[in-house]
Structure 1
Amino acid sequence: MKSLFLKIVLIFAVLGSLGANKSDNNTFVATKEWQEIKEGQKIPPGLHVRINLTTLKKEAKLLENNDSEESNKSENHALSALPEEAISTSSPSDAKSPTKSKTKHLLSDALKRAPRDALAVEHSPQAFQKIKKDYKMIKETYDEMRKHFKTDAEIITKIVQNVVNVTTQDSYVMEPEHKIKWKMDALNNLYHMVDQIDNGVLFVQIGGLEKVLLPIIVNETDTTLRVQALRVLGTLTQNNPKTKIAAFENNVGEHLSRILMTSNDADELSAGVFAFGTFIRRFPIAQERILSTSGSQALIDVLKKECELKIKAKVVTIISDLVVERRLLTELSTENYTESKLFGWLSANSFCETIETLIPSNILELLEQSDIMEDFVEVMENTYTLCNPQWPRNSRLFHTLTTLYTSYLRTQDEHKLEISERLKSLIPKVFDNGIMRDEL
């Protein structure tokens, strides 16, 4: 710190010397000894300049040979700026030495006598008062803002309470369009919050599932509200075992199956498939209960509907994922959750017949959308053993797959080339004992 202060003082001294009165033609004549620089004198370049901290006068002398060494400049300037009695060769760690104490006293005294403007430090009481006033204002503003800060738990609890009050109490009178907008705002806020595991668990614990979501999903007549409620449900049960269990206990699977079987609205079907998939994945008990009854039929019904192909791709992705899950459980000797059970449910609802019709009838769209075709290739790879009696003899399916393979192979699109490789491997597996052998 001492050395730094001395450097600062020296810089101001040099600047001051350069800004001396230009009208005076007197030039400072340097020698090897320190000499005082008179007011208005010009200082030739190449001199060693200092401020004597005892007299506070500017002094200069000729540079000596050892002064030109770069590594010693700072130390030489610092030592030359001190009186001789302030220079000590004692150890820096010897804080109690008389020499160090005297040095500290001299520096402190020099600081007191140094011109305030030379140090560029503002000591104005008015400035300090302004700083204090600004700080107080900022603190008051922050404290006021903190009164309005709410945690996620507080917000979720408030939303649930408000929805329940508006729904159940006659004192809350709203126009229908206002009530729809108000509920939509509540669902939008929940959608962005319940994806966090702790928030989702809290939402279920305070009754949000049965008091907010299910009444809208089951009884609401406005489609936009039902769609958003389904999206919130899907987010709520995604990778959250506790919310999955709560949904299972509230018969969510049956409600979702009914929506998939009865709805023809594209947005509602898409949101319903999303919620169904997040709820049933990695949940074997729910799979047993739902897929063995209406769940499998609901999934196959979506594949038969007149709806967007990307919605159907979501369905086959769910089926493919469930097959893989069951296969892993079978390998773990979990007899209650075998792959064969799932195959039985799918077969009972005409899965194989639906797929062998669906792919050829959408060949033009599949030629362009390789990402959707990838989902169908995936499900065929995982279920071709189930559909072995039907698919190998279906010439239309065979020609569709070979056409897709050839078309993808001729492009420069990396993803389509990747799908063509998978089709090259899939086609012999599916048709080796059927139409492929007959045509060869």
Structure 2
Amino acid sequence: MRVEHEEEGCRCLCATNPDISYRQDTETAATVGSTGTATMTLAFSCLTLALFLLLHSCHIPSVCGHKSALTVVENTEKRGDEEEQVKVEDDDGDFTVVQPAEQWQTLKPGQAVPTGSHVRMNLQTGQREVRLGEEQLKYWTQEHREREETLSTFNPEELKQTMKKIREDLNPDSVASKYRPLEELKRDMAQLDLLVETDVQIIRRLLDQFNSSNSTTDQKLNILQELEYLVHQVDNGQTLCLMGGLQFVLEGLNSSDIRLQESSAFVLGSALSSNPAVQVKAMESGAMQTLLTKLATGQPFQVKKKVLFAVASLLRHFPYAQQHFLTHGGLQVLSELFRADRGGVLRTRIVTILYDMISEKELISQSGLDQVLDASHKERVRQYSKVSLQGELLEKGWCSLVPQLLESTEHDYREKALRALLAMVPMCLDQYRSDSSLLVSLLYLRDQYQEMVKSEMILGEENDYFAEIVELIDALQVKIK
């Protein structure tokens, strides 16, 4: 809003804005009071201010005939505390815009101020003064403080040191001093190559140490532990046999130290796993007789567990070893061990061995019906046909032994027993039907696992393990009926 006042050909424009106020400064009032001027009342102060403005606007000759306006300008940009003056075009011409600062500054005729500025009249000098408004001052102070904090983080000395460091890093001589010459690196790498041992060299070194008369029992145990880690690889297992290490391992089975027996059986089982060449070499070295002897004699539990692992590795996918196992009373040894075990760990391992043997022969006989077979497959079919497993299982009473594993409270033991019972149905069907305890156990287990399946469905748990056990029980019940 503009207030126009004309007097003696002089035209004055006074901008009125809610954000701009003409007021008597507190310092000026204090000065007037100190000179002994009588206290002015509110009405007298307002009248005096009005008269002064009127006289000031038209009395000065330099102002008459020219535009003297206090104009509010929108959307002007301030840059810190710099007094930047911007030309703004008005309806009657051009005028300059003063950018207020934190401190009071004098306004010259024809200058305008941005919106929100604080303008006052200095009664001592008779000049208009301007500074930042309250809102502007708040944001300006915050920006000023942030800028000062940012600038204060840069120490000139630190900048000098940083630039010096950059120049030093770019210096070729400085870079070369931090790295070793290429020829020196090559020499060091060549020396390291001499210290690198291949698996073959490690196995040879371990076997020499194991066979040394100076090696203690603890050292031999450490050697067997390292060998067990190495022979998981097929090539290393065959290397062990070529170097005569298999014989050392079999001798460890006959050691008087129980720890050496256990570790030797563990190494043997790991070397035999999925390694036909080692399986053949073990059979030629008499490993089957040694293992069956360890199972038939009174050995500690941990030794028998590792020996069963070695037996399972030797029999898996090796029909010649399976036939040799049956002809040398292997099922009889396992049945006695099954009856003696009460914990269920050895029973589970024994049942797993039987299940693997039955499944392998069944699968190979089914694939033998194909018209196109290679020579090696025909030979495997011929070898499996010599494995008289069914008669041996019936004779040694396995049809009544395997169901005893269902009495265990372990879900894994029950699952393996159910799978073995399903595989033995063709040879044990009559005994299953006449075994009332087996039928009752199946009904009880089905109800139990069915409740578990329902509980999992209520809780929203996705686990098909118990449902799979229910399916095994259903399949066994169907075959028994």
Asked if residue 359 in structure 1 is aligned to residue 405 in structure 2, the reply is: yes
The equivalent residue for 2:396 is 349
The equivalent residue for 2:355 is 320
Shift of the alpha carbon at 1:240? 0.6
Asked if residue 304 in structure 1 is aligned to residue 339 in structure 2, the reply is: yes
Asked if residue 164 in structure 1 is aligned to residue 211 in structure 2, the reply is: yes
Shift of the alpha carbon at 1:254? 1.3
The equivalent residue for 1:377 is 418
Write the distance in 2 (CA, Å) between the matches of 1:151 and 1:340: 41
Write the distance in 1 (CA, Å) between the matches of 2:173 and 2:166: 19
Which of these residues, 407, 428, 437, is aligned with residue 478 of structure 2? 428
Shift of the alpha carbon at 1:164? 1.9
Alignment root-mean-square deviation, CA: 2.7
Write the distance in 1 (CA, Å) between the matches of 2:473 and 2:218: 48
Identity of aligned residues (%): 22
Structure 1 counterpart of 2:311, one-letter code = F
Asked if residue 132 in structure 1 is aligned to residue 168 in structure 2, the reply is: no
* C-alpha contact (below 8 Å) 1:300/1:351 kept by paired residues: yes
* C-alpha contact (below 8 Å) 1:317/1:375 kept by paired residues: yes
Shift of the alpha carbon at 1:325? 1.2
Which of these residues, 447, 452, 455, is aligned with residue 406 of structure 1? 447
Consecutive unaligned residues of structure 2, counting only runs of 5 or more, are: 1-81, 83-162, 370-380, 457-462
1 or 2, which has the higher strand percentage?
2
Change (3 A) 1:253 1:353: same
The equivalent residue for 1:283 is 318
Write the distance in 1 (CA, Å) between the matches of 2:425 and 2:317: 23
Please identify, of 384-393 and 260-269, the stretch whose mean Cα deviation from structure 2 is larger: 260-269
The equivalent residue for 2:228 is 191
* C-alpha contact (below 8 Å) 1:391/1:397 kept by paired residues: yes
Shift of the alpha carbon at 1:183? 0.6
Change (3 A) 1:339 1:325: farther
Write the distance in 1 (CA, Å) between the matches of 2:219 and 2:188: 30
Change (3 A) 1:132 1:159: closer
* C-alpha contact (below 8 Å) 1:156/1:190 kept by paired residues: yes
* C-alpha contact (below 8 Å) 2:230/2:236 kept by paired residues: yes
The SS at the match of 1:389 is helix
TM-score, normalised to structure 2's length? Answer: 0.58
Structure 2 counterpart of 1:214, one-letter code = L
Higher alpha-carbon Rg: 2
Shift of the alpha carbon at 1:298? 2.2
Structure 2 counterpart of 1:313, one-letter code = T
Alignment of 1:4-403 (within 5 A): 122-132=170-180, 142-166=189-213, 172=214, 179-210=216-247, 212-217=248-253, 219-331=254-366, 332=368, 334-338=381-385, 341-356=388-403, 358-359=404-405, 363=407, 365-366=408-409, 369-403=410-444
* C-alpha contact (below 8 Å) 2:323/2:387 kept by paired residues: no
Structure 1 counterpart of 2:176, one-letter code = F
Consecutive unaligned residues of structure 1, counting only runs of 5 or more, are: 1-24, 26-114, 167-171, 433-440
Change (3 A) 1:307 1:152: farther
Write the distance in 2 (CA, Å) between the matches of 1:152 and 1:307: 42
For these two proteins, the number of residue pairs brought into alignment is 300
Please identify, of 118-127 and 201-210, the stretch whose mean Cα deviation from structure 2 is larger: 118-127
* C-alpha contact (below 8 Å) 1:284/1:337 kept by paired residues: yes
The SS at the match of 1:288 is helix
Change (3 A) 1:141 1:305: farther
The SS at the match of 1:195 is coil
